[in-house]
């Protein structure tokens, strides 16, 4: 039976690296993004040309339950099942909480946290039928310790961490493993707000002496997807010893 992975927020950065890593290992892919559709279509072509796996794409907002429901229905119709769900979609917001609008708050909560509930709610019944599955949530070290001027983002990631621990317990009897990767400073466009000087100062704070690579996140996700079935409900920190 073919192996299927569904990845949200897959057009670039960590998401694109996840897609390539799983394609290299023979997984067919269901990929989605909200805004960078040309990047997603380019990634789809690159994977199909180089790794000869089946790739379907969906464009929409994972913070909208109706979109998530239709995307997963489309995936099941195409492939019949999903082995691995990776909740990677996320946006950031930097600024004082008192300056944050209600619309901005709702947008980041829906995109980063509610989307994890939406995808899991839709996927879990299919995984239970197979009595197997992996759910991997891409989180952040700020979900562990919080970050000044990133309160909403930290709240989302802290919520994902608790969600992961609780759902891991709930689904363990069904042989479905739920884990999260708490990323440190990964070299993606989300960090483009920093100047070169600020980037160097930040890298100097990290014991490993550098930012992480999206490919390193993807490799860890593949290990979680293919590894120990006794490992569930865990938040695995990938930060070069930073936090």
Tell me how far apart the alpha carbons of residues 175 and 178 are, in angstroms, rounded to a whole number: 10
- CA-nearest of 74, 53, 9 to 218 is 9
Query: What does the CA dihedral 54, 58, 63, 68 come to, rounded to 10 degrees?
Result: -70
Neighbours of 192 (CB within 10 A): 8
Name the percent of the chain in helix, strand, coil, to the closest 5: 55, 20, 30
In the set 27, 41, 51, 153, the catalytic residue is: 153
Taking the CA atoms of 208, 212, 215 and 219 in sequence, report the sign of the dihedral they define. Answer: positive
Question: Cα angle at 63 between 62 and 66, to 5 degrees?
Answer: 75
Q: Is 153 a catalytic residue?
A: yes
Backbone torsion region of residue 93, taken as left when φ is above 0, otherwise alpha when ψ lies between -120 and 50, otherwise beta:
beta
- Across-strand partners of 137? 87, 180
Catalytic residues: 153
């Amino acid at each position: 039976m073919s192996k299927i992975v569904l990845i949200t927020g897959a057009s670039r950065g960590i998401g694109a690296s996840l897609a390539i890593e799983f394609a290299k290992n023979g997984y067919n892919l269901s990929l989605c993004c909200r805004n960078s559709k040309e990047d997603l279509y380019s990634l789809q072509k690159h994977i199909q040309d180089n790794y000869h796996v089946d790739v379907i794409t969906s464009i929409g907002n994972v913070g909208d339950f109706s979109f998530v429901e239709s995307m997963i229905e489309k995936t099941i119709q195409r492939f019949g099942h999903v082995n691995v769900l990776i909740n990677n979609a996320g946006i950031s917001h930097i600024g004082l909480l008192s300056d944050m609008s209600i619309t901005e708050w709702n947008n980041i909560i829906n995109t980063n946290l509610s989307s994890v509930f939406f995808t899991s709610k839709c996927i879990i019944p299919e995984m239970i039928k197979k009595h197997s599955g992996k759910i991997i949530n891409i989180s952040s070290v700020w979900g562990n310790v919080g970050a000044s001027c990133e309160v909403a983002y930290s709240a989302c990631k802290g919520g994902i961490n608790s969600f992961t621990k609780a759902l891991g317990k709930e689904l363990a009897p069904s042989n479905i493993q739920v884990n999260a990767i708490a990323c440190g400073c990964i070299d993606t466009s989300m960090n483009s707000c920093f100047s070169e000087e600020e980037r160097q100062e930040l890298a100097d704070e990290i014991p490993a002496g550098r930012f992480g690579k999206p490919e390193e996140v993807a490799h860890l996700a593949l290990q979680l997807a293919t590894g120990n079935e006794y490992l569930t409900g865990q938040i695995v920190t990938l930060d070069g010893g930073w936090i």
